[in-house]
Amino acid sequence: MSIVRTGLDRLPGSAFAKELEGKRVGLLAHPASVNAELVHALDVLRGMGIQPSILFGPEHGYAATAQDMDGVDGGELDGVRIVSLYGSSAADLQPKQSDLKELDVVVVDLQDVGARYYTYVWTAAFMLRGAVRAGVKVLALDRPNPLGGEVVEGRPQRPGYRSFVGLYDVAVRHGMTLGEILTMVVQLERLPPEALTIVPMEGWSRSMYFDDTGLPWVLPSPNMPTLDTAIVYPGGCVIEGTTLSEARGTTRPFELLGAPHVDARAVSALEIPGATLRACAFEPTVRKHAQQICGGVQVHVTDRSAFRSYPAYLRLIAAMLAQAPEDVFPWRTQEYEYETNRPAIDLLTGGPEYRQRVNAGDPLDDYLASDAEGAARFLETRRPWLLY
């Protein structure tokens, strides 16, 4: 039995439901948009007599079948048009005004995983901005941050490093819910407060990890299969900015990392508070080093209270790249989330300093200490936006 009731669980029969009665409704959702009985938001709305006329899908698609950074086309489900908000160009991230003009309200129900670069919260922010321009209201159904809401890691971006993996300046592990992120957007953009209604959760406290809530875990994207994945993701996603593999297509993406050149035993000797590093080999099935045997480690988190994914992975990545032969370039050079002019690693870490340190072979201690101080300052910055 769940301890927490999400916004979707609370919606039927509530005063919030009245905002949808007799209205033209759109739904921004994905497969993890389910209630405590695993009923999808679309079916919950239909059970309330609400028939959404447009379904919007974020990165990975409404059905969450596409791999990272694969453009997704629209389609149809049960006679309802699906509009992709992640297509072939950055322009596709913005909902079209012509689509929004067909609606009165957009219901947003997306399960986030609590890291700055997980793009669903930014898709919701773009939807909110577009809805305001179109005179359409947004009804956001809040959900737990799977990592809780107390701990933050990784300072906000430096000026000039915003992107779709960080649309606003927040800590890497920000400790906020979708509703709190959208509250931030309303305040920072000075949008009309009445444009956004949040259906808050009941029973959620900031100390809760997802498995404390009693809610079922549904993978929100193809390489986010478990809560274990989400726990390492604030650091694990940084691998995307490198030529190391984050083990996409395996059963343990982001927990596994490495490359064909990596000396697994040497890297596993690193001491990471709250985790054990197990030397291993793995074979990615997609993306970097696909169908090649990679040496690396699996990060086994043994103490969540002590484990800090972001600094842990910055150390791991630096150690693995230091082993690379001279002809192996360390950093991703291909387009990344529609960006071609700024290195992916800089967008992920929020500036060039980490890349520069690793290139020079310099120690990371003072960099990580400064980073932790910046993250701690964010605890105060975010205070006006918190709902719980």
Q: Are strands 75-77 and 54-57 parallel, antiparallel or unpaired?
A: unpaired
Rg (CA), the chain: 21
In a domain, 368, yes or no: no
- The Cα–Cα gap between 198 and 157 comes to 27
Spatial separation of the C-alpha atoms in residues 301 and 307, rounded to whole Å: 7
The confidence score (pLDDT) of residue 18 equals 95
Average pLDDT, the chain: 97
Do 238 and 284 lie in one domain? The reply is: yes
CA–CA distance, 125 with 123 (Å, rounded to integer)? 5
Record the pTM.
0.96
Q: Is 283 contained in some domain?
A: yes
Q: CATH code at 307?
A: 3.90.1150.140
Q: On the CB side of 26, how many CA atoms lie within 13 Å of its CA?
A: 30
Q: Please count the CA atoms within 13 angstroms of the CA of 384 that sit on its side-chain side.
A: 6
What residues make up the domain containing 59? 7-215+380-385
Query: Is 149 part of a structural domain of the chain?
Result: yes
Tokens 């205070």 found at: 383
Q: Determine the average pLDDT of the residues in 198-210.
A: 98
- What mean pLDDT do residues 198-222 have? 98
Same domain, 210 and 266: no
304-317 pLDDT tens trace: 999 999 999 999 99
Judged against a pLDDT cut of 90, whether residue 324 lies above it is answered with: yes
| Model confidence band, residue 68 (pLDDT cutoffs 50, 70, 90) | confident
Considering the domain architecture, whether residues 205 and 300 belong to the same structural domain is answered as no
Cα separation, 295 vs 250, in Å, equals: 14
**Whether residue 33 is found in the same domain as residue 162:** yes
The per-residue pLDDT for range 43-59, each reduced to its tens digit, is 999 999 999 999 999 99
Residues 266-313: pLDDT tens digits? Answer: 999 999 999 999 999 999 999 999 999 999 999 999 999 999 999 999
- Please name the residue ranges forming H helices in the chain: 7-10, 41-47, 97-100, 120-134, 178-189, 227-236, 264-268, 309-322, 344-349, 353-360, 365-381
How far apart, in whole angstroms, are the C-alpha atoms of residue 311 and residue 275?
12
Q: Would you say residue 237 lies in a domain?
A: yes
Pair 69, 93 in one domain? yes
**pLDDT digits 0-9 by tens, 338-368:** 999 999 999 999 999 999 999 999 999 999 9
User: Looking at residue 1, what is its pLDDT?
Assistant: 77
The confidence score (pLDDT) of residue 315 equals 98
Residues 265 and 179 reside in one and the same domain: no
Return the C-alpha torsion angle 315, 320, 323, 327, nearest 10: -120
Does residue 140 belong to any structural domain of this protein?
yes
Residue 211 and residue 238 in one domain: no
pLDDT at residue 70 above 90? no
Residues 156 and 281 reside in one and the same domain: no
Instruction: Tell me if 324 is assigned to some domain.
Output: yes
Q: What is the CATH classification number for the domain harbouring 206?
A: 3.40.50.12170
CA dihedral over 312, 314, 319, 320, signed as positive or negative: positive
% the chain with pLDDT above 90: 98
Stretch 225-249: mean pLDDT, rounded?
A: 98
Question: 375 lies in a domain?
Answer: no
Q: Kindly state whether residues 238 and 190 are assigned to the same domain.
A: no
- Are 90 and 65 in contact by the 8 Å Cβ rule? The answer is no
- Residue 82 corresponds to which tokens in the numbers above? 């699906």
- Looking at the structure, do residues 319 and 176 belong to the same domain, yes or no? no
pLDDT at 69: 84
- 112 with 245, same domain: the answer is no
Closest CA to 14 of 197, 247, 157, 138: 197
Give a yes or no: residue 372 inside a domain.
no
Residue with tokens 């444009």: 195
- Residue 73 bridge partners (DSSP): none
Residues of the chain with pLDDT > 70, as a percent, come to: 100
Across the range 3-10, mean pLDDT stands at 98
Q: Are residues 234 and 303 in the same domain?
A: yes
Residue 207 scores a pLDDT above 90: yes
What integer is the mean pLDDT of 139-155? 98
pLDDT at 205 over 80: yes
The residue type at 333: T
Rounded CA-CA distance 157/159 in Å is 6
As for how many domains the chain has, the answer is 2
Per-residue confidence at 125, pLDDT binned at 50, 70, 90?
A: very high
